[in-house]
Amino acid sequence: MANISIDFDSVKSEIYLLGDIAVLQKNRFAWRYVKDFLHPIISEDCIIIPVDNNDTFSVMSNISSMLAKYGFSEVQSENSEKVVQEYYEEEKRFAEFSKKALHIRNNECDAGEFERFTQSVAKNLVARSLYPLQLLSAYHMAFSQNACNFSVPGAGKTSIVYGAYAYLHNLLADDPKHVECLLIVGPLSSFGPWELEYEECFGRKANSKRLVGGVNKKDKQDYLISKYPAELTLISYASLLSLQKEIGFFLRNNKVMVVLDEAHKAKNSSGGVIAQAILEMSKYSKSRIVLTGTPAPNGYEDIYNMFKFIWPNKNVMGFEVNQLRDITATGDQTRVSRLIDNISPYFMRIQKSDLNIPPATSHPPIYVQMGPLQQRIYSFIEKKYMDEFMKDGGTDTSSRFKAALAQARIIRLMQAASNPAMLKAPLRDFFEDEEFSIEEYQAIDDSDVLKSILEYEANEVPAKYVAVKRLLDDILASDGKAVVWATFIHTIHDLKEYLENQGIPCQELYGATPVERESDDEDEFILTREKIVKAFQQTDCPFKVIIATPFAVAESISLHKACHNAIYVERSFNAAHFVQSKDRIHRYGLKSGTVTNYYYILSQDTVDETIDTRLTEKERRMTEIMESMPIPLFNNVSEDLGDEDIKALIKDYVRRTKKS
Q: What does the pLDDT read at residue 526?
A: 65
Domain assignment present for residue 103? The answer is: no
Q: What does the pLDDT read at residue 417?
A: 97
Q: Is the pLDDT of residue 518 over 60?
A: no
The residue segments making up the domain with residue 488 are: 461-659
Domain assignment present for residue 25? The answer is: yes
Q: Is the pLDDT of residue 100 over 50?
A: yes
Taking residue 547's Cβ as centre, other Cβ atoms within 10 Å add up to 24
Instruction: Identify the weakest region by mean pLDDT among 144-158, 190-204, 527-541.
Output: 527-541
| pLDDT tens digits, 464-496 | 999 999 999 999 999 999 999 999 999 999 999
Q: What does the pLDDT read at residue 621?
A: 87
Q: Give me the numbers of helices (H) and strands (E) for the chain, helices first please.
A: 25, 19
**Percent residues over pLDDT 90 in the chain:** 59
Q: What does the pLDDT read at residue 464?
A: 98
Q: What does the pLDDT read at residue 91?
A: 87
Q: Is the pLDDT of residue 556 over 70?
A: no
Q: What does the pLDDT read at residue 363?
A: 97
| Same domain assignment for residues 490 and 611 | yes
| Same domain assignment for residues 211 and 63 | no
d(CA 47, CA 49): 6
| Same domain assignment for residues 431 and 497 | no
Q: Is the pLDDT of residue 437 over 50?
A: no
Please identify, among 416, 442, 457, the residue that sits at the C-terminal boundary of a domain.
Answer: 457
Q: What does the pLDDT read at residue 635?
A: 60
| Same domain assignment for residues 540 and 631 | yes
Q: Is the pLDDT of residue 439 over 90?
A: no
Domain assignment present for residue 92? The answer is: no
Give the residue-averaged pLDDT of 651-659. 85
Q: What does the pLDDT read at residue 623?
A: 86
Give the residue-averaged pLDDT of 571-595. 90
- pLDDT, mean over the chain: 88
Q: What does the pLDDT read at residue 528?
A: 84
Q: Is the pLDDT of residue 440 over 80?
A: no
* Contact call for residues 387 and 445 (beta carbons, < 8 A): no
Domain assignment present for residue 236? The answer is: yes
Give the residue-averaged pLDDT of 289-310. 89
Q: Is the pLDDT of residue 596 over 80?
A: yes
Number of domains in the chain: 4
d(CA 263, CA 324): 18
Instruction: Identify the weakest region by mean pLDDT among 294-308, 479-493, 631-645.
Output: 631-645
Name the residue among 419, 411, 402 with its Cα closest to residue 468: 419
Residue 523: pLDDT band by 50, 70, 90 thresholds?
Answer: very low
Domain assignment present for residue 95? The answer is: no
Q: Is the pLDDT of residue 525 over 60?
A: no
**CB-count burial class (<10 Å; 0-12, 13-18, 19+) for 543:** middle
| pLDDT tens digits, 3-43 | 999 999 888 889 999 999 999 999 999 999 999 888 899 88
| Same domain assignment for residues 409 and 312 | no
| Same domain assignment for residues 48 and 65 | yes
Name the residue among 381, 390, 393, 441 with its Cα closest to residue 654: 390
| Same domain assignment for residues 349 and 375 | no
Q: Is the pLDDT of residue 435 over 50?
A: no
Q: Is the pLDDT of residue 344 over 80?
A: yes
Domain assignment present for residue 33? The answer is: yes
Q: How, if at all, do strands 46-50 and 41-42 pair?
A: antiparallel
Q: What does the pLDDT read at residue 467?
A: 98
Domain assignment present for residue 240? The answer is: yes
Host H or E run for residue 481: none
Please identify, among 457, 483, 506, the residue that sits at the C-terminal boundary of a domain.
Answer: 457
Q: Is the pLDDT of residue 514 over 70?
A: yes
| Same domain assignment for residues 286 and 150 | yes
| pLDDT tens digits, 132-181 | 999 999 999 999 999 999 998 889 999 999 999 999 999 999 999 999 99
Read out DSSP for 339-350? HHHHHGGGEE--
Contacts of 356 (CB under 8 A, 6+ apart): none
| Same domain assignment for residues 470 and 450 | no
Read out DSSP for 198-254? HHHHHSS---EEEE-TTS-HHHHHHHHTSSS--SEEEE-TGGGGGGHHHHHHHHHHS
Q: What does the pLDDT read at residue 399?
A: 63
Domain assignment present for residue 408? The answer is: yes
